[in-house]
Amino acid sequence: MPPKKKEKVRRKSQSGWDTKKIVIVAAGVLFAVAMVVSLMPMSMFSALKTAQAGDIALVDYTLRDDRDIPVATSNQNMYNSVVQQGGIILFTEYLRVPVNISTEREMTPVPVLNEGYQGAPFGILSPEWNAISNGLSGMRESGSKTVTVDDGSGLTLTMDKERVESIGLNFTQAAVGMQLPVVISVQSYESIMSNSTPQDFALRLGYISDKTDDALSLNHAYTRADIRLIRLEQN
C-alpha cells in the first residue's frame, strides 16, 4: 500500500502580525507623534536654535577687570553679592547685542541703575562689546560662557596730586587697589577727570594700580566677560 501523502499545514505566524497590520500601526504611531509635536510650545523649538550673525541677543553680562574683580553687571545676584561684601560695582540693564557683528562705535553707553549714578551711563568700549558679540555666535538660549577681551591695554590714567584732589579725593588716603569711578568722553573716550564734564560722558570703574609721592595711576581695563544668552530676536 503506497504511503499517504503528508498534508501541508500552513502555520500561522506566532507573532500574529501581517503586513497590513504593520502598515496600519506605523501610520497610527506617526499620527500620534505629529499630534504631540503640534501641541509642543514653540519655546521648546526656539531653545534648539543657535545664535547666528544677524540675530539680536538679549544678554545678561558681568565685566571683570584684569584682577578678575567684577566691575559692571546686569546680573542682580552678582550685584547684590558684591554690595553685601562692601565692594563697588556698576549695575546696568541687560544688553541687546547683534550677534557676531563688530560695532563701529568706540564706546556704547548703557544706562546705570545704581542709586546716585542714574545721570551717567556706563561706557562699554568696542573691544569689550565685540568680545561679547562674537562670543554669542553658536550659543543657545539660557546658555552661558566666559569670553576674553582681545585688547585691554592702554587704559591707565596718570593723575598728579593736584588733579586728584581737584575732583574731591584725598590723595594721602588713596591707596593701591582702591576702586574709583572714571569719567570718560563718549565721543573719543578721552579721560576728562576734572571738575567739568561734557554732556556726552560715561562712567567706568577703575582701580589705583600704582602710586608715588606726587601722582597715581588708575587702571580701567576690562579683560573678561561672563555672558548668558537670555533670548534671541530676529533682526
Q: Per-residue confidence of the chain (235 residues) as pLDDT tens digits?
A: 555 544 554 545 455 556 655 555 555 555 554 555 455 554 444 557 899 998 999 999 999 999 999 999 999 999 999 999 999 999 999 999 999 999 988 899 999 999 877 678 999 999 999 999 999 999 999 999 999 997 656 788 888 999 889 878 899 999 999 999 888 876 655 444 444 445 578 999 999 999 999 999 999 999 999 999 999 987 6
* Residue 6 vs residues 3, 9, 176, 198: alpha-carbon distances, Å: 9, 9, 106, 110
Kindly state the cell numbers that stand for 3: 504511503
25 exposed, middle or buried (CB, 10 Å; 0-12, 13-18, 19+)?
exposed
Separation CA 204–CA 63 (nearest Å):
11
Q: What is the pTM (predicted TM-score) of this model? A: 0.75
Quote the pLDDT of residue 233: 86
**69 contacts 28 by C-beta, under 8 angstroms:** no
